[in-house]
A and B are shown apart, each in its own frame.
Chain A
């Protein structure tokens, strides 16, 4: 069984500040981990994914995430927030045998001037 917990349903940062969105996972098998972004009334777009290669994963739009097995975490970071980063972010986990994803409940990121 797999599950994902996203800490903080709403996060607010100032433009130019560090973005940190938290994700902890539970998996009975080595996990594949994903971060997706969703803009209002649109589908989800993949930001980055971890598939058991390098533990530090770089994605699109300057985002990156680090897989920490000891902490069962896969937190998403960006050094400097931009207004265009305001969106909802979802962490997801799947087992390596297939891609039936289990999603977290999402974190709404607000970027303020």
Chain B
């Protein structure tokens, strides 16, 4: 089944622990993105990657890290340095040709 798979859908962690969110795609898209969504704030870009082994910081990269070792995968690590990590995280992919983003179903992270 083609698309973007984010796992898990719900994730609970204790404060001070690092946690990694998975994003896998089989659309053969070059670009991948991580957005954070908070109520009333829309979507804010955390990191993006337009090619394997390369990525750039978005608007709110502090406290997050990523890797892009394979075209299909773009995991996001939420580190203990992120002051307010509880949020809904969305992974997206895209291509230059379509100029639109395709979204996964999201991971809701709750840090207690």
Contact = CB atoms under 8 A, between A and B. Distances in A.
Nearest to A4: B42
Nearest to A36: B103
Interface bin, chain B: 20 to 34
Contacts of B41: 105
Interface of B: prevailing SS: strand
B101 interface: yes
A103 interface: yes
A49 interface: yes
Interface of B: 4, 6, 9, 31, 33, 35, 40-45, 48, 50, 88, 90, 92, 94-96, 98-106, 108
Interface of A: 9, 32, 34, 36, 41-46, 49, 51, 90, 92, 94, 96, 98-106
